[in-house]
Amino acid sequence: MVDRVVRGVGDELFRGQQTGSSAPSQAVDAQSVRVKVYAVGPGVTTPELLPINLAPIPAEKCKKKVDGKVVLSLLVDTAGRPRNLTFLHPIGTDLDRFALQIVSMDRFNPGTHDGTPAVVGQSVEVSMQGCVELTTNDAGNKALLWRLRFPPAQKFGPLPQPLEEAVLTSGSSSWNDLNSNAHGIIYQVGDPVTAPIPLDTPEAHYTPEARKAKINGKCLITLIVDENGMPQNVRVVRKLDPGLDQNAIDAVNKYRFKPATKNGGPVPVEIFVEVAFKLY
């Protein structure tokens, strides 16, 4: 397995290799409070993005350039912090993680309703110019190092489907620690927890060896879909073939979801996915 190391804004690092497990927790839910959400319009002002002092991006040579645009939805709360970050248009690479990291660091002068700070829903298109290098990590294993070549650009707009109410997340995101989630609670789908909705589910590919051996079947994967709709802790629970199992993990790591919700607020859930391999 090739480890993925992502160097984000401010030279922060996080790892994308999915290992370990996380059992469902029965911890008591945090208090859920529904708030009114406003759309920019008459009587409602737009949140003003404040400038951020980012660490300089080193001018290093880049062998493989990876550019892209990720569109997210967010709510800017009355303190000017981004909440409830979810995907509108992901691209299925680690640029999705960059986009989440970038927007989570944003701070705003909050929007207002009739002059009073209010929760305002927005979309944001994050344009990034990235770079991927093959390197070696501290353990001596091959690793893909992701970094930005230039500061990202953000373009804000209205939500395609405005909300009337929402339960705000804490503002923390589970991708900061891929082996846990921000609150320590993993939910199971079932009333009142809705199932996550797939937005992008790329196909897993055959290995040459499995194709030659004419292996058909299904690999069962377990994963946690976090509050942002990102897959975490992707593991095989029913094996098929070593190469196909790894390809199934690689494919599921690229899945993107509209997150599960509980009482209207996004929550992390554990789900199972069957990845089918069939030769025609």
Provide the pLDDT confidence category of residue 171 given band limits of 50, 70 and 90.
low
Confidence at residue 242, expressed as pLDDT on a 0 to 100 scale: 96
% of the chain surpassing 70 pLDDT: 81
Judged by average pLDDT, the poorest of 101-105, 119-123, 140-144 is 140-144
Is it the case that residue 271 has pLDDT exceeding 90?
A: yes
What pLDDT is attached to residue 32? 64
Cα separations in angstroms, 218 against 227, 237, 248? 27, 11, 10
Nearest residue to 243 via CA among 213, 202, 223: 213
DSSP 3-state of 245: helix
Partners of residue 271 on adjacent β-strands: 223
pLDDT: which is higher, 207 or 18: 207
pLDDT level of residue 272 (50, 70, 90 thresholds): very high
Band (pLDDT 50/70/90 cuts) for residue 73 is very high
The encoded tokens of residue 16 equal 């994308």
Q: What is the pLDDT of residue 64?
A: 84
